Amino acid sequence: MPPLIQIEHVRKIYNAHKPDEFCALDDISLQIEAGEVAVFKGPSGSGKTTLLSLIGCMSRPTEGRIRIGEKDVVKLSERFLARTRQQTFGFIFQQFNLLRDVSVLENVLMPLYPQQVPISAMKNRGLELLRQLDMENKQQAKIRQLSGGEQQRVAIARALINDPDIIIADEPTAHLDSQLSADLIEILTAIHQSGRTILIATHDPQLFNHPLISSVFSMHSGRLTEGC
Amino acid sequence: MILHPGIMALLCGTTLVLLMMLYASSLAIKILRRWNFYSCSEEQLQLERKTFLVSTIVNYALGFQVLSLFLFIYTLEEIHPLFVGAMCATGSLNANPVGWSALYVKILVFFAAALWIALNYLDGRAEDSPLIKLKYSYLLLLTPLIGCELYLQISYFYQLDPEIITSCCGSLFSADGSGVAADLAGLAPGRMMLIFYALVGLLAGLAWLCWKKTAPWLRYGFSLAGAIFFVTSLISVISFISLYIYELPTHHCPFDLLQQNYGFIGYPLYVGLFVGTLFSILPGLFQPLKKYPSLTVEIERLEKKWLFTALIFFALFVLIASWPIVFGHFRLMNFARF
Amino acid sequence: MHHFKILEYALSSLIRRKFKNLAIIIVYTFTVATLASILFLTHSLKKEAEYLLADAPELVVQRLSGGRHELIPLEYGETIRRIPGVAKVQPRLWGYYYDGLIDANYTLQEVLPGHSKLPMLQGRLPQNPGECAIGAGVAEVRRIGLEDDLIMVDSANVGRTFTVTGVFKAESALLTNDLVILEKQDLIDFFDYPADLATDIAVSVRNPVEINTIAEKIKRQLPDTRPISRSEILRTYAAVFNWRSGMMLSVFVAALVAFCILAWDKATGISAEEKREIGILKAIGWETSNILEVKFWEGIAVSLTALLLGLLTAYIHVFFLNATLLTPVIKGWSVLFPTFRLAPFIDPYQILVIAFLTVPPYVVSTVIPSWKAAITDPEAAMRG
């Protein structure tokens, strides 16, 4: 079985041919198997977030190939890139990126809005996820009324709503204390046990030393220094 | 020149549309020259983003064009009291003959615009946008057509003079007169009815066959039949359909149907005909596009929807046209010329 | 299904940015209300003129001399009476009177049979010399009523007193507002009209289809006359109202352009919060076309709200407040203008025209800013 994620000689250059040209990623090649939990570690500016955004079909590389399953995502138009992003990935952002004046349930259901899913099915799915994450009683609360840990759980529910194969988490424990971080790792373990692949960018040692992690990639200045 | 609010709305709106189309065309030229789908460069990304802008602008512009056909006809109806001798839109058009050319071009733009919208929609369903070049080249032809329409509209309205005594539909669409309109009015209604309903049967038969089989020639046949049906229907409206609606064997006008005293029946009648024709020509016209692998499945899926929609709208047209014939009190067969 | 959810999101997005959108809606509503007021008023006046002229004579024959209106000999009436198809010939006596005291023009007219059909508020038509009936407008500006005296200065510069025997009801104001009806001889003496002349001749025709033919015959037999048909008057009114409303609309194009600039400015000034929201939506799988659809629905919601509110405001302004802001321009030169109630005449065509005049400019102003917002890079959301 081919790897789920294959990256070959990927480069990402911002502001090409301009005075402020910047090479964020330089000749990255790696493979990740289905069901793995991979951690990308490195200091700020090492290119972890850029790499995750390329894998997650948020943007296209300047050079190189990225295959997700059997699909070469570099060759996709913006519209189909978005579709792949919608169907294959769930994102947990560093800043949670929830819509503040919108309720918990609506935030969770937001990825489903552009899809042809009946409203009742949408709601049932959302409520089920919130129940699993102990957030069902806060379904109508506005985001600004929640604590950091609660917002994190809403973000996770939103990431799972599309039933994606791959979860991408960018610095998921950055705004959490150690207890909440431990809770998060438990949730990630449960997600992994349901058969999903998880990619995490972090510089939290609690995470990259955890037995849940199957591979570690170290990055520095846009290059892989370990785990290629 | 008549400074009528409806005329101002039409001219301002068409001018805005032309300006938007010119801007979209300038973007289209850029896209046509530099488009390379397989490139990962920043330029290609910007071009892809620009395609959204062009699509949005053109969809709005052409959407307006489609609606403005109705506004045009409605305005002609509204201003007819200003002309001596005019009893309906025919009189308004006769007050300055450029009006007829403006009407024909408007109808042409209606179909051309709707086709572009359909082409654009189809292109968006494919992963590799295979119709970019075709679409934008077509856009570059559409823009001058809209320019021509604006020119004709301005020409028509600018030279309208209420002092002119114009002839109304009674003389234009009279069997005793001369000219194309008179000839159409003079066609034997019985024969036209036969041709009309025979074509309805042919269309229904072809649609059923297209539903069951995938042969391309069936689709070409259906589309051709649809186009012929459009022309035949317009002739039929003048020849016999209008007679039954007006319950008068000499009243052939195709515009009086749009007036209040006939319950505005002309609007759903013509909507049924125009929209039905549009969807009937799509299967045949888009058949050659199946050569693009990314479009084959999509076109086959959409074909069924187009067929169904065409039939629904044609059915609406035929129903409205046939109702007074079947259930009305008027019997044309009693008259000698039938 | 998904269109419904996207519409729902668009509406909630509008409500979350209510102050910015409220500003646009208010200005947009005002623009629509102005344009709609013009159209409603002119259309209503046109319809009112049609309605009133329904009872007017089919032809009015005037005499011209050097291109100007002159008194017409009564014998012309006899000539006209002999033309086949003419049902009735009625010479009419009337004239204008300028009242220097209040800077107003009155129309002085002799008593005619038609006057008895007009509803009177009080009293009766003049039956004897020295009596008059006046319109509601005259009564109001001269502050006189039944049994009071109306003093006017005749053509010999002599003050003449007329006792008011009747005042017309305000409902007939369009016809009677500035009217002063006198006994025939009083009128002749007042203006010093020769006995064998009239101001014009009203002609009734049996068959309406024959009006133009008869007018031509009159013109042939009496070359120094000008027959004016009722339909000609109606067409002239319509043309003048169209022209006036068209002129006002042209002026208000400036207001529309100003509104478009405001709309563009507001649409371009997308807040950091809104940009962030769009970035998040793109990141979680929304396509550019979905964001464009949100912007489309927002535009529709704003346009429809402003259109409805504008139409309602215009309706109230024109039909309940008598178009106080617009009437001086539309109605013309007369100072003594009737404060009549306009009957609401609205048809779907007007609504369509107003929509066509106001919605496309708004759409055009916002299409590029909407697109710019929609192409927000989802990667930006990753970076927070």
Over the stretch A166-180, which tens digit does the pLDDT of each residue have? 999 988 888 788 888
Q: Do A82 and C382 touch (CB under 8 A)?
A: no
Q: Is the pLDDT of residue C83 over 70?
A: yes
Burial class (CB in 10 A: 0-12, 13-18, 19+), C42: buried
Among chain C residues, the shortest Cα distance to B62 is held by C360
In the block, which residue shows the tokens 């949730």?
Answer: A187
Residue to substitute from C5, C7, C9, C284, interface A, most A β-carbons within 10 A: C284
Q: Is the pLDDT of residue C174 over 80?
A: no
Alpha-carbon distance C199 to C96, whole Å?
A: 11
In the block, which residue shows the tokens 């033309």?
Answer: C83
Q: Checking DSSP bridges between strand C200-205 and strand C179-182, what pairing results, if any?
A: unpaired
Among chain C residues, the shortest Cα distance to A83 is held by C285
pLDDT digits (tens, 9 = 90+) for B237-286: 988 898 888 888 877 888 888 887 888 899 999 999 999 999 999 999 99
Closest in B5, B53, B56 to C246, CB measured: B5
Give yes or no for C51 touching B (CB within 8 A).
no
Q: What average pLDDT does this structure show over C53-70?
A: 84
- A78 contacts on B by Cβ (under 8 Å): 45, 48-49
Quote the distance between the C-alpha of residue C315 and its chain's center.
Answer: 13
List the structure tokens of B6.
Answer: 């409806």
What distance, in Å, lies between the first and last C-alpha atoms of chain B? 43
Q: Do A58 and C382 touch (CB under 8 A)?
A: yes
Q: What is the pLDDT of residue C331?
A: 58
Q: Cα dihedral angle (C69, C74, C76, C82), rounded to 10 degrees? A: 140
Alpha carbon of B6: minimum distance to chain C alpha carbons (Å) = 6
Q: List C203's β-bridge partners, or say none.
A: C59, C89
Query: Smallest Cα–Cα separation from A77: which of C306, B294, C131?
Result: B294
**Per-residue CA distances from A71 to A164, C256, C283 (Å):** 15, 51, 19
* DSSP secondary structure letters along C293-311: HHHHHHHHHHHHHHHHHHH
DSSP conformational letter for C206? S
Alpha carbon of B168: minimum distance to chain C alpha carbons (Å) = 15
More confident residue, B137 or C269: B137
Q: What average pLDDT does this structure show over B153-166?
A: 79
Alpha carbon of C383: minimum distance to chain A alpha carbons (Å) = 7
Which stretches does DSSP call E strand in chain C? Answer: 59-65, 68-70, 72-73, 86-92, 94-99, 104-110, 120-123, 131-134, 149-153, 159-168, 179-182, 197-198, 200-205, 225-229
List the structure tokens of C74.
Answer: 């009564």
In the block, which residue shows the tokens 């968006």?
Answer: B124
Give yes or no for C353 touching B (CB within 8 A).
yes
List the structure tokens of B266.
Answer: 């002309």
Q: What is the pLDDT of residue C333?
A: 46
Alpha carbon of C249: minimum distance to chain B alpha carbons (Å) = 8
Q: What is the pLDDT of residue B222?
A: 94
**How high is the ipTM of this complex?**
0.90
Q: What is the pLDDT of residue A228?
A: 52
More confident residue, B43 or A109: A109
Closest in A61, A74, A77 to B127, CB measured: A77
Which stretches does DSSP call E strand in C178-224? Answer: 179-182, 197-198, 200-205
Q: What is the pLDDT of residue B313?
A: 96
> CB-side exposure of B326: number of CA atoms within 13 Å?
6
Q: What is the pLDDT of residue C46?
A: 76
Closest in A85, A87, A114 to C290, CB measured: A114
Those of residues 15-44 in C touching chain B at CB distance below 8 A are 38-39
Ranked by mean pLDDT, which of B185-199, C232-246, C256-270 comes out on top? B185-199
Q: Is the pLDDT of residue B1 over 70?
A: no
C41 in Cβ contact with C342 (< 8 Å)? yes
Q: Is the pLDDT of residue A227 over 70?
A: no
Query: Smallest Cα–Cα separation from B267: which of B70, B62, B113, B79?
Result: B70
Q: What is the pLDDT of residue C336?
A: 47
Mean pLDDT, chain B, rounded, equals 86
- A74 contacts on B by Cβ (under 8 Å): 40
Give yes or no for B52 touching C (CB within 8 A).
yes
B97 in Cβ contact with B166 (< 8 Å)? no
What distance, in Å, lies between the first and last C-alpha atoms of chain C? 31
Give yes or no for A49 touching C (CB within 8 A).
yes
- Rg over CA atoms, chain B: 22
C90 in Cβ contact with C112 (< 8 Å)? yes
Q: Is the pLDDT of residue A77 over 70?
A: yes
Quote the distance between the C-alpha of residue B143 and its chain's center.
Answer: 17
Confidence of residue C335 (pLDDT cuts 50, 70, 90): very low
Alpha carbon of B166: minimum distance to chain C alpha carbons (Å) = 14
> Please, which residues have CB within 8 angstroms of residue A50's CB and are 6 or more apart in sequence?
A12, A24, A25, A222
Alpha-carbon distance A180 to A175, whole Å?
A: 9
DSSP conformational letter for B240? I
Vertex A221 angle, CA A217 and A227, to 5°: 15
Confidence of residue C341 (pLDDT cuts 50, 70, 90): low
Alpha-carbon distance A54 to A52, whole Å?
A: 5
More confident residue, C172 or C226: C226
Residue to substitute from A20, A76, A79, interface B, most B β-carbons within 10 A: A79
Query: Smallest Cα–Cα separation from B267: which of B93, B73, B92?
Result: B73
Q: What is the pLDDT of residue B220?
A: 93
Closest in B45, B49, B128 to A60, CB measured: B45
Closest in B40, B41, B48 to A77, CB measured: B48
Residue to substitute from B45, B48, B56, B84, interface C, most C β-carbons within 10 A: B56
Q: Do A115 and C6 touch (CB under 8 A)?
A: no
Give yes or no for A88 touching C (CB within 8 A).
no
pLDDT digits (tens, 9 = 90+) for C101-119: 777 888 898 887 777 766 6
DSSP conformational letter for C342? P
Q: Do C349 and B74 touch (CB under 8 A)?
A: yes
Q: What average pLDDT does this structure show over B97-119?
A: 91
> CB-side exposure of C241: number of CA atoms within 13 Å?
23
C-alpha dihedral sign at A53, A57, A60, A64: positive
What distance, in Å, lies between the first and last C-alpha atoms of chain A? 19
Alpha-carbon distance C93 to C108, whole Å?
A: 8
Q: What average pLDDT does this structure show over A186-195?
A: 90
Among chain C residues, the shortest Cα distance to B53 is held by C371
Q: What is the pLDDT of residue C334?
A: 46
**A–C CB contacts, 8 A cutoff, strictly below:** 88
DSSP conformational letter for B175? T
Closest in C6, C283, C285 to A97, CB measured: C283
Alpha carbon of C298: minimum distance to chain A alpha carbons (Å) = 16
Q: What average pLDDT does this structure show over C329-347?
A: 59
C-alpha dihedral sign at B140, B144, B147, B153: negative
Q: Is the pLDDT of residue B63 over 70?
A: yes
- A24 contacts on C by Cβ (under 8 Å): none
Burial class (CB in 10 A: 0-12, 13-18, 19+), A216: middle
In which region does residue A198 sit, left (phi positive, over 0), alpha (psi from -120 to 50) or beta (all else)? beta
Mean pLDDT, chain C, rounded, equals 83
Among chain B residues, the shortest Cα distance to C39 is held by B5
Q: What is the pLDDT of residue B167?
A: 64
Confidence of residue B334 (pLDDT cuts 50, 70, 90): low
A154 in Cβ contact with A143 (< 8 Å)? yes
Q: Is the pLDDT of residue C339 over 60?
A: no
Q: Which helix (H) or strand (E) holds C87?
A: strand C86-92
Give yes or no for A114 touching C (CB within 8 A).
yes
Q: What is the pLDDT of residue C329?
A: 65
Closest in C16, C284, C288 to A91, CB measured: C284
Residue to substitute from B1, B2, B3, B163, interface C, most C β-carbons within 10 A: B3
> What is the percentage of chain A residues whose pLDDT exceeds 90?
37
Q: Do C16 and A101 touch (CB under 8 A)?
A: yes
**Per-residue CA distances from C378 to A121, B164, B168, C382 (Å):** 27, 63, 61, 7
Q: Is the pLDDT of residue C340 over 60?
A: no
Query: Smallest Cα–Cα separation from C299: which of C26, C6, C65, C10?
Result: C10
Give yes or no for A44 touching C (CB within 8 A).
no
- B259 contacts on C by Cβ (under 8 Å): none
Mean pLDDT, chain A, rounded, equals 88
Q: Is the pLDDT of residue C235 over 80?
A: no
Q: Is the pLDDT of residue B139 over 90?
A: yes
> What is the percentage of chain C residues whose pLDDT exceeds 90?
17
- B31 contacts on A by Cβ (under 8 Å): none
Alpha carbon of A224: minimum distance to chain B alpha carbons (Å) = 22
Confidence of residue B173 (pLDDT cuts 50, 70, 90): low
Q: Do C357 and B9 touch (CB under 8 A)?
A: yes
- B38 contacts on A by Cβ (under 8 Å): 75
pTM of the model: 0.81
Sheet holding A215-220, edge to edge: A89-92, A166-170, A197-201, A37-41, A215-220, A223-226
Q: What average pLDDT does this structure show over A136-150?
A: 89
DSSP conformational letter for C199? S
pLDDT digits (tens, 9 = 90+) for B13-34: 899 899 999 999 999 999 999 8
